[in-house]
Amino acid sequence: MTETAPAEEGLRERKRAATQATIEQAAISLALEHGYDHVTVDMICEASMVSQRTFFNYFGSKEGVILGATPPMPSEAEIDRFARKTGSNVLGDFLTLITSSVLDREPDADLFKARRTLIMRTPELLSKETARMAEFEDQFVAIILTRYQIQGRSLATDPEVEDEARMVVALTTGVMHYVMRKWFSSHPTTSTRDLLRDSIEVLHRITDNTPSAR
């Protein structure tokens, strides 16, 4: 009984992931072919062979299925460990924190490329995605500011602390973009986890050997 429950849970999760991927692929293919504004939920349901009820159980709207699920945030325990960690390599530590939650599942390369193509060619979607990413950046900045505050730095005593936090987030985003580009051009069996691990090691070497500007 104890062994059966996890197996059944795993099977349900795999079925759920497969259904979600089918709906996303159908929606994005239709939008690339007909244009985002000309695709309806009915068309997506028909192409993916699911009911509207199933569609809305997975995605709240047509926009939701096109943009995809929001990246998961680190857990409170992970954030607390990051905030209380000693050491000056905030960038390397933060990148490790973010990637540990973002890459729980290896992304589908074809779906990722198709989604990015559609978003970039559709101003409405690009605006929504930009706003969504800005919200995440603000949350990330708040996490880094918590670490600085524990270290005795605050906006009241150090006006530059927020600029530093935003720079850490910007550099983290840049590393993620670099990894994704390298992933697209690498061997099909290369995982994003391996690329990220290698990139984090390079980042640690760079930051550990960079003299302070102060």
- Provide the residue ranges of all domains of the chain, joining segments of one domain with +: 4-67, 76-209
Q: What is the pLDDT along the chain (214 residues), one digit of tens a residue?
A: 455 666 667 788 889 889 999 999 999 999 999 999 999 999 999 999 999 999 999 999 999 999 998 777 888 999 999 999 987 788 888 988 887 766 555 667 788 889 999 999 999 999 999 999 899 899 999 999 999 999 988 888 888 999 999 999 998 888 877 777 776 666 555 666 677 777 777 776 776 655 544 4
Give the E-state strand segments of the chain in sequence order. Answer: none
- 76-209 shares the fold of 4-67: no
Concatenated DSSP letters of 90-127: HHHHHHHHHHHHHTSS---HHHHHHHHHHHHH-HHHHH
DSSP state letter for 187: -
Phi, psi of 183 (to 5 degrees): -60, -45
Q: Is the CATH code 1.10.10 the one for domain 76-209?
A: no
Architecture of the domain defined by 4-67: Orthogonal Bundle (1.10)
pTM, entire model? 0.75
Contact (Cβ atoms closer than 8 angstroms) between residue 32 and residue 26: no
